[in-house]
Structure 1
């Protein structure tokens, strides 16, 4: 029995040592905070833009509990008497993990949800096209970036009413706070600068130059030393010193449609996880030397990203796959995929969100929110287009059912930078003949774009949707020449 007892003692000691070493704190908290092991009390939330829902997932078995319906799909939300939310998009949570703040861009609102009961506690309406909302680390305020205007709306976290505004350059994209609560970092979606703001004084105390105007996401490391932000238009991620004088430290070329960034800390160090929508991957970087350590294929158009309370997992929302995927941070492999609502944007992992019970109140089944079709467009002349073999263009298309209509969203990549294009319908699989335009768009400097259209599109581009009165058509992308579609450069994969 002695060898068994000795082995048991050694294993116990090793487990304790590992647990102590891993107690490091995860974003957005401080490094000194204790990790929170994954449990049935935790929840993963996703803000779903086209179904106007918030999905609720239990991370232990990666099972969808249900959705919180904040609004209706199109065209019901076009009514002048409509009172629900539109374009559910941004997300943050309170330091006590009891309140979720959900931003709806189209209805200019912040909805506050009780994490225990999934009930809406309050809705505050702010200025034009807000993007993200986060609580200050002391829980007293909620800062909302009003991207359609030029200020951060500061709400009282107890009354939910606006108490002041912090004027910044037009288009504030997102804000995050230093773990000690001293600074707020606000990047811009319209102007090439990050503003550093004193939380106590609501005054700008520093500026950081962005390499481009379009920053959708920003995050601070748990040790309070770095701030990372993404640039969606040029496909880069930048890092600056979180402390004065806020010097730029590194610029990394991450790839087309670089979306969000967040961190996981474990025994091997602190790692930045960056979602790259145009490549359908998450790239992983060390925060000490900025070296890339992994590229993780995850699915179509990865968007939001958030760590578990112990850093053992990273959760990623797949915008064009209507799913949430879980990554094991020890192996950097996908370990689970969970169906959620339509076009998940921001996500949040909230440890101990449900202290008691099963936390299923006020949720609904997915219903129409889980209905979508998925297509791929490939370069003309590649295999899958009925012609010669070659590399495919990674353009994914999602058709989100809204009842009679679908919202089409294409993650277009592999195109020429800063050029006009048309997404349209062609009569032939190879894109020849007349092209009927659905949407015109301009690519960004990385040769990519997010393109949206609405209509009865599934019925004419899929075999099972075709009827005797509607001939089948094929999705294509073509350059815009003199305001008209030229020859197709990407066609629907068959």
Structure 2
């Protein structure tokens, strides 16, 4: 046998490494795309709906570069002359990684941002309450799901002007594309149907029945074989074949307030990461046999999620914690938490977003966007002290100056029943309840409840002055249109 030289061994090893790298692409790209190692050129973005900001993070050392301010907090945005963006929420990016597309629900807009300079390039206004926007794989179009109506607005990928509309059932929630650019998948937030649309002619070529009407998010695997989507109202995640006839493959119970899903490919295989708000966890599933392989505790109300360019990390926006969590995908452990703006929704990891320079232009410090108060509610009779993991309901008060936006991630209640979030004069909830917000639970017995006012001043421990009347947050069922006996009370 001819002896093998050291040089040939090295060349063979390099060829093997190159072959591995060439088949390790990450979502939303193709498996054939090369991995891009984490570096200071990368950026992680979060769309923040109460501070109306976009946080910008350098993942190489997990520090906040700053925020891009797209609008003002309440009550400044109540003015009829207000010109900023409102309820900054959705996010996508271009195939060349140079443009970020940010959807603002309240102002019906898509803001296009230069990733190198953080400067606004253009603002496109679309129909009522858009939810998400993403570039097609060839970069020629931007699809925007107009959730308040019944169509996908198709914008030109260069001019950002609307060029056509694709009619779908009312309430399109999000869209993502097959890595080969053949199909667009559009789930619905109002109808139990996900539609498959041909990119070539914008024609509908398939339908997938959702187990419930409320899908906020979906993701396609880089190998082009599967599409995963979440169902927030029933706490499930479903998987279907990304190719005709688009057969449903699996339905998984993931938990109350199931938010977003994304795909990670690493040395251990391909996995779906699902954020579950009611449990404050990220659940990890294999894509080959759908088995759950990890449960990762994170902070309050995990929402958006996106993998790094090499699949070694996944980043999670914590909606009621105002933080971004970085997870090592080989150990499935949280390795960093970065303070960001108020109520992060969509998250995007953009490799090589800043090819040169420090990428700090046109950013600001967090300021008011970083000021929040965190509370928790527990079931009556279980004791008052609570951590986020044991709380039935987590509450965040987002400072907007003298007032706060309250957001409660409610779980542990009866499904499809009316309840009241209110104030009680007594720590145990006894006595009369002053209503703050009425709400209806979803089929999973959960809800996201919002209110606005000077709430921190009366409910936060140590805040009330001597002359003020301290009150306590409670949740009570509605009985004949009035609050009944509280079932959850504020932890002290």
Following superposition, the deviation at residue 468 of structure 1 comes to 2.9
Equivalent residues in 2 for 1:373-392 (5 A)?
373-384=373-384, 392=390
The residue that corresponds to 2:449 in the other structure is 451
The residue that corresponds to 1:421 in the other structure is 419
The residue that corresponds to 1:201 in the other structure is 201
Distance change >3 Å, CA 228–CA 473, structure 1 → 2: same
**More displaced 10-residue stretch of structure 1: 264-273 or 360-369:** 264-273
CA distance in 2 between partners of 1:407 and 1:13 (Å):
59
Following superposition, the deviation at residue 464 of structure 1 comes to 2.7
Following superposition, the deviation at residue 292 of structure 1 comes to 0.2
The residue that corresponds to 1:467 in the other structure is 465
Equivalent residues in 2 for 1:107-256 (5 A)?
107-256=107-256
The residue that corresponds to 2:268 in the other structure is 268
Following superposition, the deviation at residue 462 of structure 1 comes to 1.3
CA distance in 2 between partners of 1:278 and 1:237 (Å):
14
Equivalent residues in 2 for 1:354-393 (5 A)?
354-384=354-384, 392-393=390-391
Q: Is the 8 A contact 1:92 1:102 kept in 2?
A: yes
Cα deviation 1:68-113 (Å, max 9, x = unaligned): 0000000000000000000000000000000000000000000000
CA distance in 2 between partners of 1:357 and 1:188 (Å):
41
Distance change >3 Å, CA 91–CA 117, structure 1 → 2: same
Cα deviation 1:396-444 (Å, max 9, x = unaligned): 0000000010000000001111110000010011011111111000000
CA distance in 2 between partners of 1:489 and 1:10 (Å):
69
CA distance in 2 between partners of 1:53 and 1:164 (Å):
29
CA distance in 2 between partners of 1:394 and 1:426 (Å):
18
* Other structure's SS at 2:368 match: helix
CA distance in 2 between partners of 1:365 and 1:486 (Å):
44
The residue that corresponds to 2:86 in the other structure is 86
Following superposition, the deviation at residue 394 of structure 1 comes to 2.6
**Aligned match for 1:482, one of 457, 480, 486:** 480
The residue that corresponds to 2:258 in the other structure is 258
CA distance in 1 between partners of 2:16 and 2:381 (Å):
57
Q: Is the 8 A contact 1:22 1:267 kept in 2?
A: no
Cα deviation 1:230-262 (Å, max 9, x = unaligned): 000000000000000000000000000000000
Following superposition, the deviation at residue 18 of structure 1 comes to 5.7
Cα deviation 1:301-349 (Å, max 9, x = unaligned): 0000000000000000000000000000000000000000000000000
CA distance in 2 between partners of 1:81 and 1:154 (Å):
29
* Other structure's SS at 2:260 match: strand
* Other structure's SS at 2:412 match: coil
CA distance in 2 between partners of 1:409 and 1:21 (Å):
45
**More displaced 10-residue stretch of structure 1: 374-383 or 129-138:** 374-383
CA distance in 1 between partners of 2:473 and 2:233 (Å):
24
The residue that corresponds to 1:27 in the other structure is 27
Following superposition, the deviation at residue 21 of structure 1 comes to 2.8
CA distance in 2 between partners of 1:411 and 1:12 (Å):
55
CA distance in 1 between partners of 2:461 and 2:416 (Å):
34
Following superposition, the deviation at residue 138 of structure 1 comes to 0.1
The residue that corresponds to 2:436 in the other structure is 438
* Other structure's SS at 1:446 match: coil
Following superposition, the deviation at residue 13 of structure 1 comes to 8.5
The residue that corresponds to 1:406 in the other structure is 404
Following superposition, the deviation at residue 172 of structure 1 comes to 0.2
* Other structure's SS at 1:476 match: strand
Cα deviation 1:436-475 (Å, max 9, x = unaligned): 1110000000000000000000000013320233211001
TM-score by length of 2: 0.96
Paired positions, count: 483
CA distance in 2 between partners of 1:59 and 1:17 (Å):
28
**More displaced 10-residue stretch of structure 1: 260-269 or 42-51:** 260-269
The residue that corresponds to 2:353 in the other structure is 353
Distance change >3 Å, CA 291–CA 74, structure 1 → 2: same
Structure 2: state its 5+ residue gaps: 1-5
Which runs of at least 4 in structure 1 moved beyond 3 Å after TM superposition?
A: 9-20
CA distance in 2 between partners of 1:349 and 1:239 (Å):
23
The residue that corresponds to 1:3 in the other structure is none
TM-score by length of 1: 0.96
CA distance in 1 between partners of 2:428 and 2:327 (Å):
38
CA distance in 1 between partners of 2:370 and 2:482 (Å):
35
Distance change >3 Å, CA 170–CA 452, structure 1 → 2: same
Following superposition, the deviation at residue 11 of structure 1 comes to 11
Distance change >3 Å, CA 269–CA 436, structure 1 → 2: same
CA distance in 2 between partners of 1:42 and 1:270 (Å):
22
Structure 1: state its 5+ residue gaps: 1-5
Following superposition, the deviation at residue 14 of structure 1 comes to 7.3
